[in-house]
Chains A and B, each alone.
Chain A
Amino acid sequence: MRKTFFAAAAALLLAGSMSSGAWAADKLKVGFIYLGPVGDLGWTYQHEAARQALVKEFGDKVETTFLENVPEGPDAERAIEQLVRAGNKLIFTTSFGYMDPTLKVAKKYPNVHFEHCSGYKRDKNMSTYSARWYQGRYIQGQIAAKMSKAGVLGYIGSFPIPEVISGIDSTMLGAQTVNPSIKVKIIWVNSWFDPGKEADAAKALLDQGADVIMQHTDSPAAMQIASERGKFAFGQDSEMIKFGPKAQLTSILDTWAPYYIARVKAELDGTWKEQDTWGGLETKMFQMAPYTNMPDDVKKMAEDTEAAITAGKLQPFKCPVTAQDGTTVECKGGDHLDDGQVLGMNFYVKGIDDKMPGK
């Protein structure tokens, strides 16, 4: 905690000195707050890639600043406010835990526009954006069920929050369409980022008989272990095929660039408005990495599923959804669970034997 605070403080000093130097008149200043280091190869890395795409797109019209390693919580508020004082007019805060700090600063500076990633609180100058990653996990579930010889999948979870739970459920619903008796073993590492522990979890899952590894943690460690053992795995957030040339089946790639470019364009045109974006495959806010290391028929199935989801013809959470205890989940969205039910998902679907932590 303390170390990250100092890192943030140092970054603030740097940002302050940078911004006082450059003040070209009609440039739009865009600020970014990152949770991890830009080189984490996962979550922050993808946001940084989108920022670079933004710079490439607009060139001299924008000036961007980012602060990395900013801890979630009260420190974030100071970091965001610093970006405001440095003259940034559009600020992207790229982690769930920045939600309340962003809201607080947004209320204080009504003339600055804020974009908060993966939260649910908005204001007239604060938008939210996130992606429907669970759609990608449904596809991964189908592929995994096809590729698993043992019929046992290994799933590395970070924290049992709704986003991760809905990912597990979606994976299983996808897998069950291929193999109704598919099993999943779940290990929680209680961390978003600990390469050593992620590797140990992957080893434990493989040692216990799983032969396809899926992860909801951020490092390529699990991919690398699967590669070493000659098994399969799915990447997370970014392209990880380098770490498992013969292991990666596909990966869910966070591709924020189109959204960032659209929002900056709106800001430049003066048409920016508060909105809530929860982009699915059709928005390209996330994309599937190329389907690799699988037979043609599996690839074809994955592509068909991807096309069906993109076209809105297939809903991963289509009713009826049966919960782990056998009860049918109330269907609030017509023929599928509604967004609120997915965003707040706190139950396992039938077919998962594990007990959810804390339940």
Chain B
Amino acid sequence: MELVEAIILSVLAASTPLLIAATGELVAERSGVLNLGVEGMMIVGAACGFGGAWLSGSIVIGSICGMIAGTLLSLIFAMMTLGLAVNQVATGLALTILGIGLSGLIGAGFVGERITPAPHLYIPGLTDIPLVGRILFGEDAFIYLSLALVVAVWWFLYRTRAGLILRACGDNHISAHALGYPVLRIRMYAVMFGGACAGLAGAYLPLAYTPFFIPGMTAGRGWIALALTVFASWMPSRLVIGAYLFGAVTILQLHAQGAGIGIPSQFMSALPYLATVIVLVLLSRARTGGSTAPAALGTVFVPDR
């Protein structure tokens, strides 16, 4: 049973950066903006987050640095795609390339340094409960924060007027504009939120997951976060399922190998992606009341006045 507990702990840690980044991207996409630069914003968030924490000695300051860095990078994207109405796909790809280069530059001075990772919660009594204690009451703050974030985003999107307006911008920007809503400004806020989340998700890697910075350490997690928003069919609740499923398959395939279960490791490494494809197919076949892509996703909007 200890092994089960250990596996669940690993799964939660592996899923959290995906969940945070995907939540931010979900909000941006719900407003109609497709930002493919998640990977770039994450890696810059990782570099700045680590730098901030290393210089200040504080995980909180590090996280804030990561979020600010992600936001600044997303502002470049917002300026290009919203202000200058440049193609979103191309700008997003460029943002990723920029981010990877920039993070290497920013992080060059920190390579080889290490910090104390984010502490894990410990409540005497509760954390010591066998099996569930450490899982429920012994995580690092990022994990609780990520779940709170999803709930907050769900509440915002479906239970507030502002959320309704944001979704309206994503579904039909012309109508939203005709009703007098500042479509571009709303989208800019959504993109900035996405940037802050990606920055935080990136910062999670060097602050809690593997407490050092190395160029390229996000290793494609930004792309997985992008796939997750599609997987979740743009619904926050499904995002949680998707992120944990993805994390679980990744970790379980490592355990299966260690236990000597004779399935080729290459196949097992491909399993999470295969799972995504299968769920995508199932979702699109079922289509029971689930929402699909925001109708105006990825389209450029230029106000007529």
Contact = CB atoms under 8 A, between A and B. Distances in A.
B210 A6 contact: no
Nearest to B221: A196
A196 B221 CA distance: 10
Contacts of B264: 357-358
Contacts of B269: 188-190
B260 A7 contact: no
A205 B104 CA distance: 31
A275 B212 CA distance: 40
A228 B9 CA distance: 15
Given A187-B258, A221-B210, A242-B112, A3 B100 contact: yes
A188 B257 contact: yes
B219 A354 contact: no
Interface in B236-259: 250-251, 254-255, 257-259
A207 B11 CA distance: 13
A204 interface: yes
Nearest to B103: A37
Interface in B137-195: none
A195 interface: yes
A207 B104 contact: no
B120 to A, nearest CB: 11
Interface in B59-79: none
A133 to B, nearest CB: 21
Interface of A: 2-3, 6-7, 10, 36-37, 39-41, 154, 160, 185-191, 193-197, 199-201, 203-205, 207-208, 210, 219-221, 224-225, 228, 242-243, 353-355, 357-358
Contacts of B96: 3
Interface in B242-289: 250-251, 254-255, 257-260, 262, 264-266, 269
Given A195-B219, A196-B210, A353 B260 contact: yes
Contacts of A36: 215-216
Nearest to B259: A208
Contacts of B108: 39
Contacts of A10: 101
18 contacts: A39-B107, A39-B214, A154-B258, A186-B257, A189-B269, A190-B265, A194-B219, A195-B212, A195-B214, A195-B219, A200-B251, A204-B7, A207-B3, A207-B10, A207-B255, A219-B214, A355-B260, A355-B262
Interface string B116-143: 0100000000000000000000000000
Contact of B210 (A7, A191, A224, A357): A224
B86 interface: no
Contact of A39 (B97, B117, B205, B215): B215
B250 A200 contact: yes
Given A7-B101, A354-B260, A204 B14 contact: no
Contacts of A188: 257, 265-266, 269
Contacts of A187: 254, 257-258, 265
Closest 10 CB pairs of A and B: A188-B265, A39-B111, A207-B6, A37-B215, A194-B219, A204-B254, A190-B269, A187-B257, A221-B210, A195-B210
B298 interface: no
Contacts of A203: 6, 10
B262 to A, nearest CB: 5
Contacts of A220: 212
A358 B114 CA distance: 38
Contacts of A199: 209-210
Given A208-B255, A242-B114, A353-B260, A196 B217 contact: yes
Nearest to B255: A204
Nearest to A183: B260
B214 A205 contact: no
B89 interface: no
A220 B97 CA distance: 25
A257 B257 CA distance: 37
Contacts of A201: 254
A39 B104 contact: yes
